[in-house]
Amino acid sequence: MISVEHVSFHYPGSSETLHDISLKIDDGEFVAIMGENGAGKTTLVKLFNGLLKPDSGSVLVDNVNSRDRSVAELSRQVGLIFQNPDHQLFAETVGEELRFSLKNFGFEESVIKNRVTSLLTALDIEKYVNASPFMLSGGERKRVALASILVWDPKHVIMDEPTIGQDYLQKDRLRNFIIQLISQKKAVIVVTHDTEFIAECNPRVVLMSKGKIIADGPAKSILTDQTVVEEASLVLPQMTQLMMSIPELHAPDDIIDVYAARKFLLQALTERAETRRESR
């Protein structure tokens, strides 16, 4: 469990980036942190793995205060995948990139081999095992960065903008992969602007604006709340916009994804057609 209590933080020489944030994330929970550029999302998640320490308040990871742990210890427990994979990748081959941390942690060669192979396969990059990460596409490099963290099996996983540069097929894989991670009782925290991806996953959404949490709840209720969505510089999911644009159909107000919209419309349009037939 990750627990943040009354945390404030500022970078040297600038005004406060986070103001009095409190948040609890359970094991096995999938949380999306969303909000405008500069809202403090990335700063917040850097507190989770100890890269930053709060000015005041406390960050507890599995009941241990982040101040009592080194970054090395904490980051083994909380894996953070950066937004820009180029800040993370350095090895000559994709395979080496994944083996690097495992070798440092002193894993046996047979374990290393198994883990590397299974992650490369799960993220659809096994064919690049001997390629240089820098020859890959942006989307592929992001998956290598993800694999290189997951390979040491951190207890919790944070992904900063994981869908950038990913096509729909890869996003679908990513979604299934996240479901797998939460079924292993890991907390998965995703920082993202990708409203449509979140609408399809329907996780818990924490909305941030100007260093504060302005809303927290299921995606279905947060992403359909026009006031907070606008405050956080997001846009409503397309399906929500569509349902709001035809009020005469009286759609439920929590539709965010295509399948819910389809189900509702199928029923509503069929009923209307029947009513008209009867009245003729």
Residue 171 or 186 having the CB closest to another protein: 171
Residue 113 or 212 having the CB closest to another protein: 212
Q: Which of the ranges 44-52, 63-71, 87-95, 228-236 carries the binding residues for another protein, by CB under 8 A?
A: 228-236
Cα 222 from chain centroid? 16
For residue 77 the two structure tokens come to 């427990």
CB of 170 closer than 8 Å to CB of 139? yes
Q: Please tell me the distance from the alpha carbon of residue 168 to that of residue 197, in angstroms, as a whole number.
A: 9
Residue 99 or 142 having the CB closest to another protein: 142
Residue 7 or 260 having the CB closest to another protein: 260
Residue reference for tokens 């990059």: 125
* Maximal CA-CA distance, the chain: 78
- As measured in angstroms, the least distance from the Cβ of 224 to another protein is 14
Dihedral angle over CA of 93, 97, 100, 105, nearest 10? -150
Question: Among residues 71, 121, 130, 138, which is the contact residue for another protein, using CB under 8 A?
Answer: 138
List of residues 6+ apart from 107 with CB closer than 8 A = 115
For residue 158 the two structure tokens come to 């944070």
Q: Which of the ranges 23-31, 51-59, 179-187, 256-264 carries the binding residues for another protein, by CB under 8 A?
A: 256-264
By CB under 8 A, name the binding residues for another protein.
35-38, 83-84, 136-140, 161, 164-171, 193-196, 230, 232-235, 237-239, 241-242, 245-246, 248-249, 257-258, 261-262, 265-266, 268-269, 272
